[in-house]
Amino acid sequence: MKCPYCRSLDSKVIDSRLSKEGNSIRRRRECIDCGQRYTTYEKVEDCLPVIIKKDGRRETFDRHKILIGINKALEKRTVGVEEREALLDRVEKFVQELGDREIPSKVIGEKVMQELHTLDEIAYVRFASVYRSFKDINDFMSELKDILNGRP
């Protein structure tokens, strides 16, 4: 592990523990050369599926792309970083549990909308307006009516 301060490759592990979610290991390290301490996280690299886009293209699953969409929907909302990461973890876990080698992007988009609906309804509408490509105000109002009537 390379020290973020001096770039030395010599470090020792001071403390290791399982993360709160149980999906990674948190390690406190100390650099042998400069003495600085830092934290690293180790996560098992899973075989994630290929995503089939609407136009038929295939891309590897990209957690960061989903996070960008979630962050845009939650812009200027009071949802913290931990809640955003937890949402992203749930979506990724859902994708892994499907067990398919290829998954249509629609499945992931619907899962993100479901998660956003329970987390923040404004973010849900924002995400849905882009994801579902609302054409006009009537599409938007229809979605709002569904929310007000309690339908996801």
Residues 77 and 33 in one domain: no
Give the Cβ contact number of residue 146 at 10 Å.
13
What pLDDT was estimated at residue 68? 92
Statement to judge: residues 142 and 67 lie in one domain: yes
What confidence score (pLDDT) does residue 37 get? 96
At 97 the pLDDT is: 87
**Does 59 reside within a domain?**
yes
Q: Which residue has the tokens 């960061």?
A: 64
Closest CA to 98 of 87, 89, 107: 107
Enter the tokens of residue 148.
């007000």
pLDDT of 7 reads 94
User: What are 14's two structure tokens?
Assistant: 């001071």
Q: What is the pLDDT of residue 39?
A: 92
- 6 within domain boundaries: no
The residue whose two tokens read 């987390």 is: 119
Residue 152: per-residue pLDDT: 55
Report the chain's terminal Cα–Cα distance, integer Å: 45
Does residue 75 lie within any of the structural domains? Answer: yes
Which residues constitute the domain of residue 31?
A: 11-43
Q: Averaged in consecutive runs of 10 residues, what is the pLDDT profile of the chain (152 residues)?
A: 92 89 86 95 77 91 91 91 90 88 91 90 84 71 72 57
Q: What's the total number of domains in the chain?
A: 2
In angstroms, the CA 51 to CA 64 distance is 14
For residue 113, is it within any domain?
yes
* pTM for this prediction: 0.62
Are 88 and 36 contained in the same domain?
A: no
